[in-house]
Amino acid sequence: MANYLAQFQSIKSSCDHLVISVEDVSDLWHIVKSGFEERLPFKRACLNNKTRNLVYVESLPAEFILTTDIRLRSRFPQELSLFWFREPYATVVLVTCEDLDEFKTILKPRLKLIVQNDEREYFIVFVSKAQPNNDQATKLAKKIYAKLEVDFNSKKRERCCKLDIHGPDANFWEDLDSKIMESIRNTLDRRVQFYEDEIRKLSEQRFMPVWNFCNFFILKESLAFMFEMTHLHEDSLREYDELELCYLETVNATGMKRRDFGGLERGDDQAALVKPDYKPLSQIVQDDSFREFEFRQYLFACQSKLLLKLDRPVEVASRGYSFIISFSKALALHENTLPFCMREVWVITACLALINVTTSHYNDGVLAPDVEKEFYRLQGDLYSLSRVKLMRLAYLIGYGMDIERSPVNSAALSMLPWPKPAVWPSFPPDASNEVLAKEKKILQANTRPKHFGIHRKPLPLEPSLLLREANRRRASLSAGNMFELSPSFAEGLSLDALRTPPPNKIPASSMSRTNSSPGNFEGSLDRPMRISEIHVAAEHALQHTISDPDLWKCLSSVQNFEQKYLDLTKGAADNYHHSWWKRHGVVLDGEIAAVYHKHGNFDLAAKSYEKVCALYSGEGWQDLLAEVLPNLAECQKILNDEAGYLSSCVKLLSLDKGLFLTKERQSFQSEVVRLAHSEMKHPVPLDVSSLITFSGNPGPPLELCDGDPGTLSVTVWSGFPDDITLESLSLTLAATYSADEGVKAITRSTATILNPGKNNIFLALPPQKPGSYVLGVLTGQIGNLRFRSHSFSKGGPADTDDFMSYEKPTRPILKVFKPRPLVDLNAAISSALLMNEPQWIGIIVRPIYYSLKGAVLHIDTGPGLKIVDTHVIEIESYTKVLQTSTQNTVDDRNSVSAATKEFTQLTLNDGKIQLPDWANETTSVLWFPVLASDKRLARGTSSVAPQKQSIVDGMRTIALKLEFGISHNQTFERTVAVHFTDPFHVSTRVADKCKDGALLLQVTLHSQVKATLTILDTWLDLQPGFVHTGHDDGRPSSSILPLIISPSSRAGILFGIRLGSATTGDEAEALEQGSILNIKYAISGNRTIGAHAPVDGESSASEGNELGLLFRSALVLQRPVLDPCLSVGFLPLPSGGLKVGQLISMRWRVERLKDLEEHAVSPDNDEVLYEVNANSENWMLAGRKKGHISLPIKQGSRIVISIICVPLVAGYVHPPQFKLPKVDEANISCNPAGPHLVCVLPPTLSSSFCIPS
């Protein structure tokens, strides 16, 4: 049956649509033809598919053919059945008739004849030519048609329809369509049934020897083709799949049986997997089956054609890719029979063909996004597959030098085995000049050294040494002497190592070989080929293999190869970019970049390289990054993109140390430094976070008081391989609590040299605001280049939990405390000091947890006080002062001298004192002598009118200012008040008046100081008008001296004086120059307590005490001490006693005791002013409280003044006082004296006083 193949194929190619035969009984076709044919192709044809389900075909092409047509000649029965699919699917019988008898007699039998002869699907179209207006004709036509229906319609099938040519008959055409469709459907069903039966019969005898695949194929294919004709592509495709399955089974089943694979003909290298009719089937048939090579491609071609008709290019691509893979395996199995590298070439062409056909049929956007991604991925796979194969071919013919030895290519090629031809092609004898050319090329080709002098062992592009492989596969050399050869070619795997194969060794080895196996001595053949020869041989062989001139052109020269290579790579990359497989795309971009790079198109190269580097560094694939980044850097350098170049260098430096040699890393650094010091056009801040990291020192943060500067020590880790000099370095501090505080930068302007690894750096810290600070960013300058780093180093073992809880605990590195008192200054003494005497004043200097190192105290005394700067100033520790004060030594100098080191003598220079170092931490007290001067003479007071003396005039102030802290930034000011006073306060009173007129004057001395005063001597210089009674020139009886007055106690001294003979005239000046009390005294006090012996006294010898100090105080004595000239008498009160609210009159008698002197005469001297004072709460006075009374001036004249008073309160109250304000008290004698108190009785109860209850 195989001989039908040719015919079969011609039939298939000829008819691609189904046929409807027209039985034109009464010659009507020419009339209705046009009408019929414009129904074609049938819209929404409804057919049964193989599983008898209704399917709607949008447009079904068909053709009306008259039965008289030559194409419908009856055929031999067998081919009739075989090629049944091309037979008419329906028969239309065209009849007309105007005459009933004619119908009965002629037409009907004829129709019967036509209809009955076979089981064709027919139906009758009755065409009536009757004019619509001619109604009897139409009536007749109707009648005839009715008869026709009666005769030919069966109950289950309508076989008639009526067409009125002149009468508009719309529904005829639908009728026609449905009828045709019905017929086609039935026919189709029947034929499918037939084919399936046939196929079943055949496949039952599948494993019998009679089994013939061709028959099976023809039946299957016919069925498939019929489905295809009727646009039932799904079914057709299923048939082809089954066919393929069956074929593969047969192939594998009969695998052991030696069968011809095919693919040996010219042009077979070009894949025909999308060209179904590439070869006539008759040519690929072999005895009872087909040659695998062509037939599998044929099947796939048919499938893909159907898939494309079904508009499923994605499926084509996916099926195609796996087909290519599996088929290339098959090719590998038969490689030894196939021409050299047939497999590679076929794969390339197949991929390209598939790409073309799918992309041309693929229209974007109609598919679901993930399907689209799938499609693009497949395209990418196809591209990269062909790319790999192309590279393999190029390598074989010696373009290996021009293939980038990148990880991608290495991964693709070095695991791809060499082609395994039965015999490796040996180079043609006349190709010696080509060999030389190759040799030259190999010698010229020198691997481009990478930038930075990086040298790496290039990655392999070959699964094994091509030289060895090729020679092993040569007919003339046996495996045995391969072993002898191997040492001579053992060095290195790469081509470069083999550029110059040692020529002398080769004859030697061949000699040894000749010894091993005598035989063929043909010069060129038996000697192992040199690599260049291998290339030439491969080139020639390929030239024979490759029939496609375009493909060959791609390999004819390096340039063309690179062009093709670039196209394929780009194709792959672009498609991958559209798919899920971004990484594939980016990596291939890198390959494109490599080519650009080689050809000096650095701009594009850099762009692509950047993408690759971004990918690798983003995911931390440093090994791969280390391969690409140098290239990027080189491009950037050449493009003199300084910024990019810098950052690349920094990236390179920050990669794992293991990835580069030290000298390479050093060259990176030198590049960085060189650029940094060069004049960059656009200097950019450099981010060295990965390279220079920093952290505070472990341990507690640096703690500072407010306003203090300090030095911050920071650990900086340098990732540079060499020392690097930072022209400047600054570090920002961020306040943790107050965000508004912002960041401060502390700078270190001096150049810093970082050693590789850990460095400790100290930064001077200006005073900061209170708060706690963390490290911010490290910035600085390398050369003219600003850099910044904001990565903390996990440097020391400080925070080992960093990696555990991934948020880094920002450890405060600096704490600045809120302002607080750092020192305190106080007066050491509380009690008063001696006025007008040089006295020690002590200032307690108390540091509060703060060192007073280098503190300076400014002392500024207020008015009325000055420092006795002739004398040294002493400082001693306060604790000792306390204990000295506890042991109350009279003289503290012993204790001072006892103080060994904690006592220093200082000198004051222009009001400043430098405190000694030992006083830095401890509380100390500073003693300096002062003299408070008060020119005024102290005045005594009389007991009669004791005048209060104010503290203020004894008060002096000292302004103190302490400068301390590092760089004296801290100051403390305090004004200390010191109280000075006289040793005594003197008050006097006349103790008694003797008959002889002598007066006893009592002088009371109040000690004002907290020190023991010893009165050595005292005398009273009396003012004129007074004289001492005794002759002891106004000294008290010396028996009492020396008189010791203990602190703040008093002592009294009596002086006897009497009125001297003095004129009254000098009384006036006698008053202002009063008498002076002189007291010679000594003081023994402790300066820590208060007043004490004057400073000089201490400094001078001790007998200074004897001569003692002198204190003078003025007293005022007045004469006459007593001479009453008026007497006031209080007249007794009524006996009844006083009652509250009861009027009484109080009466006083005023009487002149003596005449007034003349000189005292005044116009109103007979008038006396009186005044009555009473506590208004106790008394109510009626009458004139105050007034003049006339009193005659002669002695004895008297008058009584009475005042009505009402006592207001009960009890003992002071009575109203009667006074004579004009008269000195001394001249009034109260006789009888008024009562001190009077008793007032409560009022007698009376209704008016009753409180209503």
Instruction: Name the one residue in this structure whose structure tokens are 């067409």.
Output: 163
CA–CA distance, 385 with 377 (Å, rounded to integer)? 12
**Does residue number 703 form part of the binding site for other proteins (CB under 8 A)?**
no
Determine the interface stretch with other proteins among 439-447, 479-487, 620-628, 1225-1233 (rule: CB under 8 A).
620-628
Question: How far is residue 1231's CA from residue 1129's CA, in Å, rounded to a whole number?
Answer: 5
Q: Give the nearest distance from C-beta 659 to other proteins in angstroms.
A: 11
- Nearest Cα to 184, choosing from 231, 149, 151? 231
652 burial class (0-12, 13-18, 19+ CB within 10 angstroms)?
buried
**Looking up tokens 């340039």, which residue turns up?**
559
Cα–Cα–Cα angle for 182, 186, 189, nearest 5°?
Answer: 140
Closest distance to other proteins from the beta carbon of 312 (Å): 16
Q: Which x/- pattern, by CB under 8 A, does the window 1162-1191 give for other proteins?
A: ------------------------------
Q: Report, in Å, the least distance between residue 654 CB and other proteins.
A: 15
Burial class (CB in 10 A: 0-12, 13-18, 19+), 104: middle
> Is the Cβ–Cβ distance between 902 and 1096 less than 8 Å?
no
Of residues 521 and 806, the one with the C-beta less far from other proteins: 806
Q: Which of 143, 329, 912, 1154 binds other proteins (CB under 8 A)?
A: 329
Near other proteins by CB under 8 A: residue from 583, 939, 974, 1214? 583
Query: The dihedral of CA 900, 906, 912, 917: what is its sign?
Result: negative
- Of these, 15, 106, 246, 416, which contacts other proteins (CB under 8 A)? 416
CB 335 to other proteins: min, Å: 13
Instruction: Give the Cα-Cα-Cα angle 806, 811, 815 (nearest 5 degrees).
Output: 165
Count interface residues toward other proteins (CB under 8 A): 37
The one segment of 512-520, 524-532, 797-805, 1107-1115 that binds other proteins by CB under 8 A: 797-805
Report d(CA 602, CA 1073) in Å as an integer: 116
Residue 620 as a binder of other proteins (CB under 8 A): the answer is yes
Q: Interface with other proteins includes 809 (CB under 8 A)?
A: yes
Judged by CB under 8 A, the residue of 415, 945, 1245, 1250 near other proteins is 415
Interface region with other proteins, contact rule CB under 8 A, candidates 563-571, 798-806, 848-856, 1203-1211: 798-806
Buried-state track 1008-1017, b at ≥16 Cβ within 10 A, e below 16: bbbbbbbbbb
Among positions 269, 294, 627, 634, the unique one binding other proteins when judged by CB under 8 A? 627
Among 59, 105, 193, 322, binds other proteins (CB under 8 A): 322
Residue 580 binds other proteins, judged by CB under 8 A:
yes
Residue 1203: burial class (beta carbons within 10 Å; 0-12, 13-18, 19+): buried
Binding span for other proteins by CB under 8 A among 323-331, 689-697, 815-823, 1082-1090: 323-331
Nearer to other proteins, 252 or 444 (CB): 252
User: How far is Cα 846 from Cα 432, in angstroms, rounded to an integer?
Assistant: 107
Residues 417-446 that bind other proteins (CB under 8 A): 417
How far apart are alpha carbons 526 and 505 in whole angstroms? 14
Measure the CA dihedral 820/825/829/831, to 10°.
-70
94 contributes a contact to other proteins by CB under 8 A = no
Q: Is 387 in the site for other proteins (CB under 8 A)?
A: no
**Exposure class string for 696-709: b at 16+ Cβ within 10 A, else e:** bbeeebbebbbbbe
- What does the alpha-carbon distance between residue 25 and residue 59 come to, in Å, rounded to a whole number? 29
Q: Which of residues 829-858 bind other proteins (CB under 8 A)?
A: none
- Residue with smaller CB distance to other proteins, 20 or 385: 385
Q: With binding defined as CB under 8 A, does residue 804 bind other proteins?
A: yes
Amino acid at 662: T
Residue 896 is encoded by which pair of tokens? 């001072």
> Nearer Cβ to other proteins, position 502 or 809?
809
Stretch that binds other proteins, among 537-545, 583-591, 1056-1064, 1235-1243 (CB under 8 A): 583-591
Binding of residue 407 to other proteins (CB under 8 A): yes
- Check if the beta carbon of residue 1214 is closer than 8 Å to that of residue 1236: yes
410, 666, 793, 971: which one contacts other proteins (CB under 8 A)? 410
Tokens of 427: 């180079």
Question: By CB under 8 A, is residue 132 in contact with other proteins?
Answer: no
CB of 171 to other proteins, least distance (A): 49
CA 291 – CA 304 distance, rounded (Å)? 20
Distance CA 139, CA 135 (A): 6
Q: Are 659 and 626 in contact (CB under 8 A)?
A: yes
Nearer to other proteins, 143 or 808 (CB): 808
CB nearer other proteins, residue 413 or residue 765? 413
- Applying CB under 8 A, the span of 324-332, 594-602, 1079-1087, 1182-1190 interacting with other proteins comes to 324-332
Q: Which stretch binds other proteins (CB under 8 A): 392-400, 403-411, 668-676, 754-762?
A: 403-411
One of 89, 581, 694, 792 touching other proteins (CB under 8 A): 581
Kind and range of the H or E element at 866?
strand 865-867
Distance between CA atoms of residues 672 and 783, nearest Å: 10
Q: Strand runs (DSSP E) across 1022-1101, as ranges?
A: 1026-1028, 1043-1045, 1050-1059, 1075-1084
Contact track, other proteins, 587-616, x by CB under 8 A: x----------------------------x
Q: Is residue 810 involved in binding other proteins (CB under 8 A)?
A: no
Segment near other proteins (CB under 8 A), from 137-145, 406-414, 591-599, 1158-1166? Answer: 406-414
Q: Write the binding mask 252 to 281 for other proteins: x where contact by CB under 8 A, - elsewhere.
A: ------------------------------
State which amino acid sits at residue 751: A
* CB 794 to other proteins: min, Å: 10
Q: Does position 658 bind other proteins by CB under 8 A?
A: no
Smallest distance, other proteins to C-beta of residue 501, A: 21
Q: Which of 370, 550, 603, 1069 binds other proteins (CB under 8 A)?
A: 370
**CB 424 to other proteins: min, Å:** 20
Q: How far does CA 419 lie from the centroid of its chain?
A: 55
Judged by CB under 8 A, which of 299, 459, 686, 833 binds other proteins?
459
The amino acid present at 1040, given as its one-letter code, is: I
- Rounded to whole angstroms, the Cα distance separating 149 from 170 reads 20
Nearer CB in complex with other proteins: 490/977? 490
Residue 797 burial (C-beta neighbours within 10 Å; 0-12, 13-18, 19+): exposed
DSSP letters, 1141-1170, are T--EEEEEEEEE-SPPPSTT--TTTTEEEE
The phi-psi region of residue 236 (left if phi > 0; otherwise alpha if psi is between -120 and 50; otherwise beta) is alpha
Residues 6+ apart with CB under 8 A from 32: 94, 125, 127, 163, 165
Q: State in Å, rounded, how far the first CA of the chain is from the last one.
A: 156
C-alpha–C-alpha distance, residues 516 and 284, integer Å: 46
The DSSP 8-state label assigned to residue 136 in this structure reads H
Nearer to other proteins, 255 or 417 (CB): 417
Q: Quick one: which of 805, 830, 883, 887 contacts other proteins (CB under 8 A)?
A: 805
Stretch that binds other proteins, among 28-36, 145-153, 579-587, 1042-1050 (CB under 8 A): 579-587
Per CB under 8 A, the segment of 46-54, 235-243, 580-588, 845-853 that binds other proteins is 580-588
CB of 415 to other proteins, least distance (A): 5
| Residues at the contact surface with other proteins, assessed by CB under 8 A | 322, 325, 328-329, 370, 373, 377, 407-408, 410-411, 414-417, 457, 459-460, 493, 580-584, 587, 616, 619-621, 623-624, 627, 801, 803-805, 809
